[in-house]
A and B are shown apart, each in its own frame.
Chain A
Amino acid sequence: MEIGMLPISASKRGKLLAAGYTTLHSIATTSITHLATDIEVSESEALEILNFATRNSALERSSGSNTNVIQGGQTAWDMLNEERFSSSITTSCADLDNILGGGINCKEVTEIGGVPGIGKTQIGIQLAVNVQIPLDYGGLGGKAIYIDTEGSFMVERVLQIAEACIEDMSEYSHHFHKDNQAYGVKMHPNSILENIFYFRVCSYTEQIALVNYLDKFVTEHKDVKIIIIDSVTFHFRQDFEDMALRTRLLGEMSLKLMKLAKNFSLAVVMLNQVTTKHVEGSFQLTLALGDSWSHSCTNRIILYWNGDERHAYIDKSPSLKSASAPYSVTSRGIRNSTSSSKRIKMV
């Protein structure tokens, strides 16, 4: 047995076997505290055993850096290199893409909220279509998962947006590949629809069950690059008496989604509703689900009316500047705002 290869005392070896650590792999993938409690040794001794195990085990650390001690960690330098190549999904509105640093980022959870009718579902559908833009056209060539909790996913509209997207791509290829006649766009609106995995959930239990199931689903469909939940709020707003339970469930769900985003390098977009709250003597609009929920996402975008124009404001982001940009909802989907007034406003 591999345990026999470890240069440790026989009694420790016996304790390891008794605690169920039969292979070096099982020791290498456990944490120091667990090991220490399981075999009843001090933490420094456990650390020693761990080091031996990882050195001798067949596990190859992928980053090759000094992460032997802290399992599952990554240095900031490695992350920087990864981030350089991480991709983003365009929103089809150049101004919006600009303030987002290129688009909705993969490996991140983005929350988008706004009043009814501002265009949340429209952005959701646009992203589900845009994620499928082929690599040749600067897209990700991926598939989308659309989790519909409210029934606002209307297929006629998706078809409209898909057709417009294909037309735009044809125009683009026309401009840049004038000589190359064979460079036609081979996509058909039906194939765009085919690549959107649509789930309809009717209660919060279904929603949670589905999020738990997603890990397995995405493992089998590795080309899914975006998960859109429209809206994450609806089932948690109706008839929930135990607020503490709600906070717990929401917290768990958001952790799972974050894990999905990181592990599979996809983007998670959660659409949220608004509610009013009493602040400093007046009522203000705020995104629903409470204060603890506002920590659950990486980025938070609020869609609002600025006069007659729709604007998007980056409310919270670890890497993006607070800015707002105008956009519009047209028959072809989300596009740049056509007003000639001042564009991006830094706040």
Chain B
Amino acid sequence: MANKLINQLGLPKSIANIFAARNIITAKALLLMEQRVRNESLAGHLPTRLKGLDEALCGGIPFGVLTELVGPPGIGKTQFCLKLSLLASLPVNCGGLEGRVIYIDVESKFSSKRLIEIGTKSFPEIFHKKGMAQEMAGRIMILRPTSLSEFAESLHRIKVSLLQQQVKLLIIDSMAALVLGEHDSGASRQQALGWHVSFIKSLAEFSRIPIVLTNQVRSQIGDESLMYSFQARSHSTKEDTPVTFDSHLVAALGINWAHAVTIRLVLESKSGQRFIKLAKSPISPPLAFPFNITASGIVLLDDNGIEMKGPEINNIHCQGQNALSNYERVRHQL
């Protein structure tokens, strides 16, 4: 069976060039896997050190795709991102990627004090060595773009170092703040978002690094979830469900965005207990893990996870709100 190079197949030059530029030399899935296992550190996943989550994700946050963290304010998204940036800067023999991290901090939430605290509490043996803290924190680069265009510009600039394999993780905290502050109307916002999503995705693909983005939530009035036309027909005949007007939370940025991310982790709070849920993942079952935030970052309370049935896993709860805001105040006193 011919596994020919594309340039030997006698394609018209324009098409062959496109393929060559995209590095589509051969096209077999097995080759892909072998290549990735051979070349990529940790077989293409960044372990989060949360045992249950890593198992469900076949190793950790996957390379080359977009992973989204969505949840109400104060739930722990930035904490998760801080931990991840630390993990990526760890030396390889400690399970890290020993690379630089680019942290796009839109809302100025990055706290280096908290970063060092997480580091010293989680990896005391590394951080108490002289100069290690400085070296690792020195690998994390914080950018603070104030608009989408500035953001795109900075990405273009770091594209080179991304492609040269020096940067091992890109975190965008938060994508929603970047987009929602920009345009008013829906259409131009969707278009701007669309372009940036494509760009970030191809960046992920070319550089084969994990890209983690955080997203906000917004409320939606009415409990009627969207249906298709064929569903609406059969549903309208049943009048037994009373129509309520409670508002509930949904992820911001729309359904187009929901399609574009590959992995969606929903963080929520239900009856005072926080959960991290694998709402969308091609490689994982729909599991929810209870977690807490401690001095050493996020810890799972149960590595087994609760399997959730149905679309419930996509819902975002924010109950026990007072407990969350209390925690925020305590945390900021550090």
A203 to chain B: which residues have CB within 8 Å?
Answer: 198, 202
From A115, A209, A309, B255 is in contact (CB under 8 Å) with A115
Shortest Cβ gap from A116 to chain B (Å): 5
A302 to B19, CA, bound (A): 33
Would you call B280 and A116 a contact (CB within 8 A)? yes
A26 to B209, CA, bound (A): 55
Residue of A152, A201, A241, A279 with highest tally of chain B CB at under 10 A: A152
Shortest Cβ gap from A117 to chain B (Å): 4
Would you call A156 and B283 a contact (CB within 8 A)? yes
Would you call B259 and A193 a contact (CB within 8 A)? no
From B65, B226, B259, B310, A116 is in contact (CB under 8 Å) with B259
- How many of chain B's residues touch chain A, expressed as a range? 35 or more
Please tell me the number of chain A residues within 8 Å of chain B, measured between CB atoms.
Answer: 63
From B1, B2, B198, B232, A238 is in contact (CB under 8 Å) with B198
Instruction: Mark contacts of A154-192 with chain B using CB atoms, 8 A cut-off: 1 yes-contact digit, 0 otherwise.
Output: 111111000000000000000000000000000000100
Question: Does B24 make an interface contact (CB < 8 A)?
Answer: yes
Shortest Cβ gap from B23 to chain A (Å): 9
Residue on B nearest A239 in the bound complex, by CB? B195
Question: Does A304 make an interface contact (CB < 8 A)?
Answer: yes
Instruction: Mark contacts of A195-220 with chain B using CB atoms, 8 A cut-off: 1 yes-contact digit, 0 otherwise.
Output: 01111111101100100110010001
Question: Does A52 make an interface contact (CB < 8 A)?
Answer: no
Question: Does B32 make an interface contact (CB < 8 A)?
Answer: yes
Would you call B255 and A275 a contact (CB within 8 A)? yes
A311 to B156, CA, bound (A): 43
Would you call A283 and B226 a contact (CB within 8 A)? yes
A213 to chain B: which residues have CB within 8 Å?
Answer: 11, 15
A238 to B189, CA, bound (A): 11
Would you call A237 and B256 a contact (CB within 8 A)? yes
Would you call B18 and A209 a contact (CB within 8 A)? yes
Instruction: Mark contacts of B309-324 with chain A using CB atoms, 8 A cut-off: 1 yes-contact digit, 0 otherwise.
Output: 1111110000000000
Instruction: Mark contacts of B110-129 with chain A using CB atoms, 8 A cut-off: 1 yes-contact digit, 0 otherwise.
Output: 00000000000000000000
B285 to chain A: which residues have CB within 8 Å?
Answer: 331
Residue on A nearest B204 in the bound complex, by CB? A151
Instruction: Mark contacts of A64-82 with chain B using CB atoms, 8 A cut-off: 1 yes-contact digit, 0 otherwise.
Output: 0000000000000000000
Would you call B310 and A307 a contact (CB within 8 A)? yes
B231 to chain A: which residues have CB within 8 Å?
Answer: 304
B22 to chain A: which residues have CB within 8 Å?
Answer: 200-202, 206
Would you call A202 and B205 a contact (CB within 8 A)? yes
Known contacts A209-B15, A286-B229: does B29 contact A239 (CB below 8 Å)?
Answer: no
Shortest Cβ gap from A96 to chain B (Å): 17
Question: Does B245 make an interface contact (CB < 8 A)?
Answer: no
Question: Does B28 make an interface contact (CB < 8 A)?
Answer: yes
Question: Does A62 make an interface contact (CB < 8 A)?
Answer: no
A220 to B2, CA, bound (A): 8
Question: Does B221 make an interface contact (CB < 8 A)?
Answer: no
A299 to chain B: which residues have CB within 8 Å?
Answer: none
A284 to B232, CA, bound (A): 8
Instruction: Mark contacts of B190-218 with chain A using CB atoms, 8 A cut-off: 1 yes-contact digit, 0 otherwise.
Output: 01001101100110110000000000000
Would you call A284 and B228 a contact (CB within 8 A)? yes
Question: Does A249 make an interface contact (CB < 8 A)?
Answer: no
Would you call A239 and B194 a contact (CB within 8 A)? yes
Shortest Cβ gap from A85 to chain B (Å): 26
From A237, A238, A309, B310 is in contact (CB under 8 Å) with A309
Residue of B62, B65, B255, B259 with highest tally of chain A CB at under 10 A: B259
Residue on A nearest B232 in the bound complex, by CB? A284
Question: Does A246 make an interface contact (CB < 8 A)?
Answer: no
Known contacts A157-B282, A206-B18: does B229 contact A150 (CB below 8 Å)?
Answer: no
Would you call B230 and A275 a contact (CB within 8 A)? no
Known contacts A235-B198, A284-B232: does B283 contact A154 (CB below 8 Å)?
Answer: yes
Shortest Cβ gap from B160 to chain A (Å): 18
Question: Does A315 make an interface contact (CB < 8 A)?
Answer: yes
Residue on B nearest A220 in the bound complex, by CB? B2
Would you call A285 and B226 a contact (CB within 8 A)? yes
Question: Does B27 make an interface contact (CB < 8 A)?
Answer: yes
From B15, B24, B195, B262, A151 is in contact (CB under 8 Å) with B262
Question: Does A347 make an interface contact (CB < 8 A)?
Answer: yes
Instruction: Mark contacts of B271-298 with chain A using CB atoms, 8 A cut-off: 1 yes-contact digit, 0 otherwise.
Output: 0000000011011010000000000000
Known contacts A193-B30, A198-B32, A313-B230: does B262 contact A152 (CB below 8 Å)?
Answer: yes
A-B contact pairs, 12 of them (CB 8 A): A121-B282, A154-B65, A155-B32, A155-B36, A156-B59, A198-B32, A202-B205, A205-B18, A238-B198, A273-B259, A285-B227, A304-B228
Binding site for B on A (CB under 8 A): 115-117, 121-122, 146, 150-159, 190, 193-194, 196-203, 205-206, 209, 212-213, 216, 220-221, 231, 233-235, 237-239, 241, 273-276, 279, 283-286, 302, 304-305, 307-309, 313, 315, 322, 331, 347
Binding site for A on B (CB under 8 A): 1-2, 9, 11, 14-15, 18-19, 22, 24, 27-30, 32-33, 36, 58-59, 62, 64-65, 191, 194-195, 197-198, 201-202, 204-205, 226-232, 234, 255-256, 258-262, 264, 279-280, 282-283, 285, 309-314
- Which 9 pairs of residues, A with B, have the shortest CB-CB distance? A308-B310, A238-B194, A193-B30, A239-B195, A117-B280, A155-B33, A196-B29, A238-B198, A156-B58
